[in-house]
Structure 1
């Protein structure tokens, strides 16, 4: 057989055997889709960046979800000893200042001491189970480990003393506590919520001349000539007007 005949025979065998091979081995490979081809020819895309506004909290919620949970809350955390504010304020006519009066003289809100509670409950309700638990803390000399309800964001300060002296009512931030069986977070504590009030604190406040506020926040720069109208609490009336609270970053952030 000549070389020509051999080449023709090989070509015929290849043509005949190709359909048989496709039948046996499952047919021709399918063409890659556009997405597969793109993936094969290009590096894998990086995952989408997490939006910082939607950053997850320690509880698995996003920041927005956590804020919404506070805004929609109707019941706060369970406390080690149930204290019904509704009963104490409505039935017993107790004022906020009776338990939290020291907030007028301090920068932070102060929880009442066990001694103050026992001033009434040595006799009143002494046989009740919650009062017996209270007595246990009193006898051991330990404070009641209350669950915190309000917490300002990191690096933010909220001086209760300055706000109370400026005649800000408790319920403006804490809501109608006298109608709550269990305390929950009434205010969002977001920056916009604070500024809404600071822009117009009213005509009857003394935020511009509050001596305690002046003592707590001394001038950032001295002498006065270097910054005649600057971050000086004693000159808030010049810097913002008599009816405005401070809006500088350093007034609230540290």
Structure 2
């Protein structure tokens, strides 16, 4: 390992040398003449490659809607989580794009996604913060097809909440049709009178739910042999959950 002393340091491959950065300093190391991989290392390398590509896809699916600064290690943290999770995408629940602050700093009772696609934010007390005029809450719901690696739908809902008050229970309808899993991010930013706070202690964005792909209605229908007898006219009554529409 050699420290780079040039005016313009570099990272990456340059001939037989590799430049890299560690703790703010730039170093050099030589490339190995040959690399021997065992079956286990090849398998690990393949898992890492799959997780890295999937992680990049997830990040870019949300970057356009996120308003916070992600911490410098969020890419490696997400890749590590995906390697351990494999195809169990529900393991993404709880991931923080800003590891320094989670939504639990602002909401003591966590929101939850109900089976009918309603995000329930329970009643609770919102603490006050010096100089903070409001809390901006942004719900980002994106439907992701992990097989084809496509975003098939997205929806955002924004709420402004006064601090140092009692927040009344609110239901947010997240109607995002399409194929794939529904990934929901709950973002919170502290707002001053002249704009959002830039402090990493006052911004959070967590994945709070990953719902399984929608099952086509036709797949749920039970098939019966054709009947020749006539059936009487039937009347069906459908009960729908109450939805609070947000202005």
TM-score by length of 2: 0.24
Q: Which has the higher helix share?
A: 1
TM-score by length of 1: 0.24
